[in-house]
Amino acid sequence: MSTAAASAAPAAFLSALSARLGAHRVLTEREDILPYGFDGTAALKQLPAAVAFPATTDDVAFCLRLAREHRRPVVTRGSGTGLSGGSLPLAGSLVLCLAKMDRILEVDAANLTLRAEAGAITQKIYEAADAAGLFYPPDPGSMKISTIGGNVAENSGGLRGLKYGVTRDYVMGLEVVLADGSVCWLGSKCVKDVAGYNLRDLFVGSEGTLGVVTQVLLKLLPKPAARQTLLATFTAMDAAAAAVSAIIAAKIIPCTLEFLDQKTLRCVEDFAKVGLPRDAAAILLIETDGHPAAVADEAEAIEKLCAAQGASSVKRAATPAEAVQLATARRSAFSALARLRPTTILEDVTVPRSELAGMIRAVEAIAQKHQLNIATFGHFGDGNLHPTILTDERDHAEMHRVEAAFADIVEETLKRGGTITGEHGVGLAKKPFLKRQLGDQSYELLRLVKRALDPEGLLNPGKIFD
């Protein structure tokens, strides 16, 4: 579709949309749609033709049928915090924003499930479960604003991934609207359910390219009885990586095992003022949870292991409030890095945990080679690193070096049996590298699935692959 033809949406399309949703739920004015021209990813922007706010699943089905009739690409959007350009509009596209479908529909304490509309905010889901004495573990850094639909579409991780897994591990059922407007329920409240293909999981991590998620049925856990947060300080990055390996080798699975290098921890401290040691080369934020006795044992063992790997100090959070403060501070890491340079481009590579120390060193070498400022933090327990290049998108020469550095980081990752993305998705940002990781035949299989479910290629086209 040529951009000129595409960007001006035909009046018939827009008036049919407004007639169904109400004029106030369809935005086309520049001032209204400009703020939907980007997501959380740096240096990407593109205006859509219109932004629509469906109120019901039927509205979503209507929008998809109408878009199909008019051959309009549809980009589904939650809160636009994605970090791979997933909800970046295409020229001429309709952005389907689910932010107003944000109700929590049911907390079922008998079956330990929660059902919510896809636009519900992750934090609200956590709070609704918490209020019922239950626990929804996945806690991406963006949880105060990300939508559960976005979490499902990216299969987001969080700080508790090591012990509790990622979003996928909590999705029991999904309501999905397909490209032709048909509405399907995939999954159920049953703990065991092998009726037919597991299509529910196909939609987890599908980045809005296979259908629109409108409802999510989530698994909840009982709330852990006790928690203890620890902060370990290191004078060398290697030592921190070695401590992580030692903890895991000792068969301890903490709930959280987060890493921040010096640049990151200083930015975080500047913002959050929680007393992080500014002179440390690296810190580990560790949390253990569960039965009080087990928590006490694990905390002690972790302290010893960190000390043995040369931690200069290991402190315990004195109160639950202090623990929450530390976790909240950690969640601000990516955004806080923008204090140093205007553009922050972060990677999401993940390696088998035994490769962590080597990968950290490789990133340092790459930063030197390309003369770039790279800060690293990440979900160390998951082997998930976020090397973040601090740069300025207006400096074209530097941006070339940034690209070259990314290619090198990907190279290193794949060499170590890693993956190009642990949790942020392929979107636009990782698209060029996907084929290399998957190999020709797996890559073709993905496209086959896409063609089967979206034969006209109208759902978030150009994301993941072309």
Partner 1 sequence: MHCGMCLPTCPTYDETKLERHSPRGRIALMRAIGDGELEVTKSFGEEMYYCLGCLACTTACPAGVDYPKLFETARAEVERQGVLDSPKRDFIRWFAVRFLFTRPRLLRLVGRALYLWQASGLQAMARRSGLTNLLPPDLRRLEPQAPVIQRRFSHQLIRPVERPADAPAVSTAPLRRVAVLTGCVQDLAFADVNRATVDVLLANGCEVHTPPVQPCCGSLHAHNGDLGSARELARRQLDLINPDDFDAIISNAGGCGSHLKTYGHLLHDDPVYAARAAAWDKKLKDIHEYLVSIHFRRPLGTPSPSSAPSTDLAPARTITYHESCHLCHGQKISAQPRAILRAIPGLELRECAESSWCCGSAGIYTITQPETAERLQHRKVGHVLATGAEIVATANPGCHLQLENGLRAACAPTVSEPASPASPPIVTHPVVLLARAYAAEAAASPRRSIHGT
Residues in contact with ligand FAD by the rule CB under 6 A: 39-40, 75-83, 86-87, 98, 118, 140-142, 146-147, 149-151, 153-154, 156-158, 207-208, 212-213, 334-335, 423-424, 460
Plot region of 385 (φ>0 → left; ψ -120 to 50 → alpha; else → beta): beta
Q: In angstroms, what is the minimal distance from the CB of 368 to ligand FAD?
A: 27
Interaction partner, residue 264 (partner 1, ligand FAD, none; CB < 5-8 Å by kind):
none
Interaction partner, residue 338 (ligand FAD, partner 1, none; CB < 5-8 Å by kind):
partner 1
Q: Which two tokens stand for residue 282?
A: 């690296």
Q: Which is nearer to partner 1, 80 or 427 (CB)?
A: 80
Question: Do 78 and 58 contact (CB within 8 A), yes or no?
Answer: no
Residue 183: in which H helix or E strand, if any?
strand 183-187
Asked if residue 100 binds partner 1 (CB under 8 A), the reply is yes
Q: In angstroms, what is the minimal distance from the CB of 79 to partner 1?
A: 6
Q: Which is nearer to ligand FAD, 341 or 370 (CB)?
A: 341
Interaction partner, residue 234 (partner 1, ligand FAD, none; CB < 5-8 Å by kind):
none
Asked if residue 466 binds partner 1 (CB under 8 A), the reply is no
Q: Which is nearer to partner 1, 36 or 170 (CB)?
A: 36
Can you name the residues that pair with 27 across neighbouring β-strands? 51
Q: In angstroms, what is the minimal distance from the CB of 45 to ligand FAD?
A: 14
Question: Do 39 and 88 contact (CB within 8 A), yes or no?
Answer: yes
Asked if residue 339 binds partner 1 (CB under 8 A), the reply is yes
Question: Do 230 and 254 contact (CB within 8 A), yes or no?
Answer: no
Interaction partner, residue 130 (partner 1, ligand FAD, none; CB < 5-8 Å by kind):
none
Q: Which two tokens stand for residue 72?
A: 């309009």
DSSP 3-state of 193? coil
DSSP 3-state of 91? coil
CA atoms within 13 A on the CB side of 93: 24
Q: Near partner 1 by CB under 8 A, which window of 74-82, 156-164, 211-219, 401-409?
A: 74-82
Q: Could you tell me where the beta strands, DSSP code E, fall in 253-393?
A: 256-261, 282-290, 313-316, 343-346, 373-379, 384-391
Rounded distance, CA 434 to CA 413, Å? 13
Q: In angstroms, what is the minimal distance from the CB of 379 to ligand FAD?
A: 7
Interaction partner, residue 121 (ligand FAD, partner 1, none; CB < 5-8 Å by kind):
partner 1
Torsion of CA 428, 429, 432, 433, to 10 degrees: -130
Asked if residue 32 binds partner 1 (CB under 8 A), the reply is yes
Can you name the residues that pair with 217 across neighbouring β-strands? 115, 173
Question: Do 310 and 235 contact (CB within 8 A), yes or no?
Answer: yes
Q: Which is nearer to partner 1, 29 or 440 (CB)?
A: 29
Q: Near partner 1 by CB under 8 A, which window of 223-231, 338-346, 412-420, 429-437?
A: 338-346
Q: In angstroms, what is the minimal distance from the CB of 22 to ligand FAD?
A: 20
Q: In angstroms, what is the minimal distance from the CB of 269 to ligand FAD?
A: 17
Q: Which two tokens stand for residue 290?
A: 């569960």
Rounded distance, CA 365 to CA 232, Å? 25
**Contact residues: partner 1, CB under 8 A:** 27, 29-32, 34-40, 42, 53, 79-81, 99-100, 102, 121, 123, 142, 144-145, 267-268, 270-272, 332-339, 342, 344
